Amino acid sequence: MITRFCCALLLLTAAACTGHLRPAPPAPGAASPSTAESRSTAELAAAISAAAQRSDNEPDSKIRAELATQAGSDAQACIARDPQAAACLYGRAVALGLSARAHPTRAGEFLNNMLDDLARAESADSHYDEAGPARVRALVLIRAPGWPLGPGDIEAGLVAARRAAALRPLYPPNLLALAEALAKNGDAVGARESYARARDAALALPAAADKDQWLREADQGLQRK
């Protein structure tokens, strides 16, 4: 019905929480013939990150589904190689986010598993990917539909966003996530402050594509009333 239908749509939004990942090398498989099993944990994690970044900008749902499948395969290989590594747990969480976007009818299940993996990744190494486990957890919780249709919980999302910002206070995506969480919780003043801090932090970084994107997001947030 409409409620479930909208839930699926929101889950799509939540599934697109894999942005702001550590910059990755060029897309996997394009030049390297190596199999997933032969690659190192770092290579597999980078491949998952690359798939997530390509998926974020990919309008074709079939290609997004292929990227999700590839990322899932890389995540499984990573977990098989090092089941307790934050990189692999975080990578599998990211891959699950891609799967949620590619298969919206199963998005709730994928996102719940994603949150489990993020919790385990945070326990293993909370600083991984500039406090990525807490940051991505926050984005899922504030963007997913709320109880009982989905795992969304804006209050828990704000707690996670604060944790990420405390761990890496100068990393703009953490401040952007905190701003979004504050706004969702009705703290417009706090959200503006956080967007301003994100802008300042981004301006202090060397020129890069990510920097431009973070500045755009901060500016958009500051323009919202």
Nearer to another protein, 147 or 189 (CB): 147
C-alpha 118/C-alpha 152 separation (Å) is 15
Tell me: does residue 60 bind another protein (CB under 8 A): no
Cα angle, residue 197 at apex, residues 192 and 201 outer, rounded to 5°: 150
Q: What is the DSSP string of 113-141?
A: HHHHHHHHHHHH-TTHHHHHHHHHHHHHH
- Note the Cα 166 to chain centre separation in Å: 18
Residue type, 202: A
Tell me: does residue 62 bind another protein (CB under 8 A): no
Tell me: does residue 13 bind another protein (CB under 8 A): yes
Nearer to another protein, 167 or 191 (CB): 191
C-alpha 225/C-alpha 74 separation (Å) is 42
* 128-157 positions binding another protein, by CB under 8 A: 145-149, 153-155
Task: Kindly state the smallest distance separating residue 1's Cβ from another protein, in Å.
Answer: 4
* 93-122 positions binding another protein, by CB under 8 A: 104-105
Residues in the interface with another protein (CB under 8 A) total: 22
In terms of phi and psi (left: phi > 0; alpha: psi -120 to 50; beta: otherwise), the region of 125 is beta
Tell me: does residue 127 bind another protein (CB under 8 A): no
Nearer to another protein, 125 or 187 (CB): 187
Tell me: does residue 58 bind another protein (CB under 8 A): no
Residue 184 has phi, psi (to 5 degrees) of: -65, -30
Tell me: does residue 65 bind another protein (CB under 8 A): no
Residues that bind another protein (CB under 8 A): 1-10, 12-13, 104-105, 145-149, 153-155
